[in-house]
Structure 1
């Protein structure tokens, strides 16, 4: 994990030569993750009765995608921690659903007080926090839909961001 990845940028002849530069793998993976999540309505779209199973499937797909990024690429420690935390948030949502989403079946009661609504709200707020950390660290613009789950930006008086993964000294 300590290796720094490099990309070949050119070859020369006259016996042999090669040019390379440090690969910006973390930024590429961060962009890929944000682009993937921008298409996941689970994170920002309106939910309706009987969407529960579709949402669980979407969370499973997000987990699989994040696992793929973690296992197929050499990623820096900061981004690795964020992707693992995002994966854990999805796992918690799927676990809360129970087998076949049974725990999310619609039950009568006050709006927003059902297990599905609570788990979805928790997933969205956690993912919003991690997406904000990635977007800030790698200077990625997040589309309008997904940006709705991001926490508000820090104010001038909140300059110390060391509590966010990847922003430590």
Structure 2
């Protein structure tokens, strides 16, 4: 895959010495994913009926980015599971929408439900769940806009993320 990155943690003298440690590749990948998602208004911005095609394209871009991360990097099972689940959420959104969002149109779904709004809500809920899991697991701060889709923060006694799928430590 790629070389394992190292970071310098200290330098000693007089005969020159250097201390180093392997950086957390999973944490770096997780940070890159969250930074990428922080710029995806699909996940948090106001949406309007005429935005269906744009939203489908954005979901496809997210899916492609996540696939690239999975192909390009060797990572732990927990992070890989979360990225695959996020990618599946994007795929589900695109499948419901149709290739250009034509399944949303101006039609209402069953019992007057807005199919676009429901699919977007499902996507945001699923993505928020996994962004929260990743941010908690790797101690990464999430931008305020993206944080609007996160589930409520755990209470102090609930900081164990082992109940999140893929983070069970099995």
TM-score range, shorter chain: 0.7 to 0.9
Q: 5+ unaligned residues in a row in structure 2: which ranges?
A: 9-17
For 2:131 and 2:41, locate their aligned partners in 1 and report how far apart those are by CA, in whole Å: 15
Deviation track 1:81-113 (CA, whole Å, cap 9, x = no partner) reads: 000000000000000011321111022589x82
Tell me the equivalent position of 1:148.
Answer: 148
Contact 1:161 / 1:168 at 8 angstroms: preserved in 2?
no
1:21 matched residue in structure 2: 21
Q: Compute the TM-score of the two structures, normalised by the length of structure 2.
A: 0.83
C-alpha deviation, 1:19, in angstroms: 7.9
Alignment of 1:1-169 (within 5 A): 5=4, 7=6, 21-107=21-107, 113-156=113-156, 158=158, 160-164=160-164, 165-168=166-169
Aligned residues: 161
Structure 2: distance between partners of 1:157 and 1:23: 29
* SS at structure 2 position matched to 1:99: coil
**Offset at residue 159 of structure 1 (A):** 5.2
Contact kept? 2:107, 2:114, Cα under 8 Å: yes
- Which segments of 5 or more consecutive residues in structure 1 lack a partner in the other structure? 10-17
Offset of residue 166 of structure 1: 1.9
Alpha-carbon contact 1:5-1:74 (below 8 Å) kept: no
Change (3 A) 1:36 1:60: same
CA displacement, residues 1-25 of structure 1 (integer Å, 9 cap, x when unaligned): 9xx945386xxxxxxxx98632311
What value does the CA root-mean-square deviation take over the aligned residues? 2.8
Q: Is the 8 A contact 2:109 2:115 kept in 1?
A: no
Q: Distance in 2 between matches of 1:35 and 1:19?
A: 29
Give the 3 Å change call, closer, same or farther, for CA 122–48 of structure 1 in structure 2. Answer: same
